[in-house]
């Protein structure tokens, strides 16, 4: 099946430092979604990117979708302890009249106060 | 909006017991519901996809007779782990989407299943 590769698996940063997680697909995506899962919680939808080269911002979070719609990134500026959690990307694949959302393995972010 | 309620949140039971987990969309009609399994410090493993009124589509390697899924209405899907064994212990989490292609998934709080 389709796979979405997400790196890094873990990231430890000092509070105030920036953080970036990357997702890559070998084939073109219809869209890409980002989710955040706090420790002990469930994934929560953050945003969806659809257009080639799209960039969206949510306060300190910047989401990008590559020109070829095969990769995406999430960048957090000046991390805070509230940013702790695992960030998942999920790529939507389409083909033969069906759609499949595939999650990356996630990047676990730890923020040292 | 888009609240998904999953019940129970925690189950501890003996080996051989069957366990039913409910997933409800509270404020929207869930055309499609998904069931995932998540191992500690691991990603979400999709088990099956269910559409209201039709049979669930199971992912490769997931036993359909072991994990029974019913999606009887647009607001309720159930997962029954039949004759559960210790290796079935895990965190099971459901999600639901509304009508439309590529809609975001809204997750329940998950169920921590422990089989003794």
A-B Cβ pairs (cutoff 8 Å, strict): 42
Suggest the residue from A1, A32, A38, A43 to mutate for an interface test with chain B (most B CBs closer than 10 A).
A43
CA distance A35 to A67: 21
- Tokens representing A74? 């999430």
In this prediction, residue B94 carries a pLDDT of 96
How close B3 gets to chain A, by Cα (Å)? Answer: 11
Residues B6-65 have pLDDT tens digits of 999 999 999 999 999 999 999 888 889 999 999 877 788 999 999 888 889 999 899 999
Is the CB of A33 less than 8 angstroms away from the CB of B43? no
DSSP symbols for B21-49:
EEEEESSS--SEEEEEEE-TT--EEEEEE
In this prediction, residue A34 carries a pLDDT of 97
Q: Which residues in chain A are closer than 8 Å to B25, comparing Cβ atoms? A: none
Most distant pair of Cα atoms in chain B: their distance: 41
Model confidence band, residue A95 (pLDDT cutoffs 50, 70, 90): confident
Q: Which residues pair with A44 in a beta bridge?
A: A36
In this predicted structure, which of A55-59, A93-97, B25-29 has the lowest mean pLDDT? Answer: A93-97
In this predicted structure, which of A25-39, A62-76, B14-28, B32-46 has the lowest mean pLDDT? Answer: B32-46
How close B42 gets to chain A, by Cα (Å)? Answer: 7
- Kindly identify which residue of chain A lies nearest to residue B103, measuring between CA atoms: A48
Using the predicted structure, report yes or no on whether residue A19 has a pLDDT greater than 70.
yes
Model confidence band, residue A33 (pLDDT cutoffs 50, 70, 90): very high
In this prediction, residue A28 carries a pLDDT of 95
Question: CA distances (Å), A45 to each of A32, B1, B12, B103, B105, in order?
Answer: 11, 12, 29, 10, 7
């Amino acid at each position: 099946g389709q796979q979405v590769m997400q790196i890094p698996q873990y990231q430890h940063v000092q509070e105030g430092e920036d953080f970036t997680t990357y997702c890559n697909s070998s084939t073109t995506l219809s869209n890409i979604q980002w989710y955040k899962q706090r420790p002990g919680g469930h994934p929560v939808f953050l945003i969806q990117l659809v257009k080639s080269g799209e960039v969206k911002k949510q306060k300190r979070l910047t989401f990008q979708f590559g020109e070829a719609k095969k990769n995406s990134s999430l960048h957090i500026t000046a991390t805070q302890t509230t940013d702790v959690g695992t960030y998942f990307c999920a790529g939507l694949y389409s083909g033969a009249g069906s759609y499949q959302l595939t999650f990356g393995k996630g990047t676990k972010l730890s923020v040292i106060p | 909006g888009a609240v998904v309620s999953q019940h129970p949140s925690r189950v501890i039971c003996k080996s051989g017991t069957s366990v039913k987990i409910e997933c409800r969309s509270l404020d929207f009609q869930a055309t499609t519901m998904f069931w995932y399994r998540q191992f500690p410090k691991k990603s979400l493993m999709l088990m099956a996809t269910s559409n209201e009124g039709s049979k669930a589509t199971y992912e490769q390697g997931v036993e359909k007779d072991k994990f029974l899924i019913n999606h009887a209405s647009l607001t309720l899907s159930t997962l029954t782990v039949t004759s559960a064994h210790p290796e079935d212990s895990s965190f099971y989490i459901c999600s639901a989407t509304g009508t439309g292609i590529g809609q975001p998934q809204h997750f329940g709080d998950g169920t921590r299943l422990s089989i003794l």
